């Protein structure tokens, strides 16, 4: 039987992996797509651990590659549930890379994956609530609420039918574009 509430600590997961030449791009750095794949795997593990169900990725929010990851570095990913809705969870992920010869650690990425729990029939399934045990956990929960509001506003704006091109043409003068209609 599922618990009605779980602590953030109950679903925390960390993974570490040595970055190999086979993971590199043409520039000799670890391929961003490979990093995203690892992030998706840890988001799945964290969300599944919290929900006790199979989970799917609904969205990925704010992926900023802050520092390149080098071949031979040890990448550590840390994840936790930052927010829960009825059937969805926001998994916060922090990516760090360590030069194993010097011990220097750099923050390479932070991201937020929205995961949805699924039952055996593939339908969205309710997830346990979240027990927030520190001010940092409360801050992360509130920040997730704000990101959700921003995301909803972007969708409303994107899907709006009352967009009038002429209202925005003057703004385009600030960009390096040429309009040739």
Cβ-proximal residues to 25 (8 Å cutoff; 6+ apart), any chain: 31, 32
Partners of 75 in the β-ladder: 17, 97
Going from the C-alpha of 132 to that of each of 109, 111, 135, 138, the distances in angstroms are: 24, 20, 8, 6
CATH 3.40.50.970 fits 5-162, yes or no: no
Q: Cβ distance 42 to 16 under 8 Å?
A: no
DSSP state of 72: T
Distance CA 32, CA 149 (A): 28
Going from the C-alpha of 171 to that of each of 92, 162, 164, 179, the distances in angstroms are: 35, 18, 13, 13
Q: What share of the chain is helix, strand, coil (3-state, %, to 5)?
A: 35, 35, 35
DSSP state of 46: H
Residues written for the chain: 181
H or E segment to which residue 137 belongs: helix 135-159
Structural tokens at position 2? 């599922």
Q: What is the pLDDT along the chain (181 residues), one digit of tens a residue?
A: 577 999 999 999 999 999 999 999 999 999 999 999 999 999 999 999 999 999 999 999 888 899 999 999 999 999 999 999 999 999 999 999 999 999 999 999 999 999 999 999 999 999 999 999 999 999 999 999 999 999 888 888 778 777 777 877 888 888 888 878 7
Indicate the domain borders of the chain.
5-162
Q: Cβ distance 15 to 42 under 8 Å?
A: yes
The predicted model scores a pTM of: 0.87
């Amino acid at each position: 039987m599922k618990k009605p509430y779980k602590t953030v600590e109950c679903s925390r997961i960390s993974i570490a992996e040595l970055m190999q030449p086979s993971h590199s791009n043409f520039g000799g750095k670890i391929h961003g797509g490979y990093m995203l794949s690892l992030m998706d795997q840890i988001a799945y593990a964290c969300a599944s651990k919290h929900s006790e169900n199979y989970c799917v990725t609904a969205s990925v929010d704010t992926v900023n590659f802050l520092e390149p990851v080098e071949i031979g570095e040890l990448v550590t990913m840390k994840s936790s549930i930052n927010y829960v809705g009825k059937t969805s969870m926001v998994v916060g992920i922090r990516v760090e890379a360590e030069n194993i010869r010097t011990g220097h650690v750099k923050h390479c990425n932070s991201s937020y994956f929205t995961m949805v729990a699924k039952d055996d029939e593939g339908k969205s399934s309710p997830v346990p609530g979240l027990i927030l045990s520190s001010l940092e956990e409360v801050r992360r929960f509130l920040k997730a609420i704000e990101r959700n509001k921003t995301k909803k506003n972007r969708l409303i704006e994107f899907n709006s039918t009352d967009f009038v091109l002429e209202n925005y043409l003057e703004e385009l003068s600030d960009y390096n574009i040429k309009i040739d209609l």
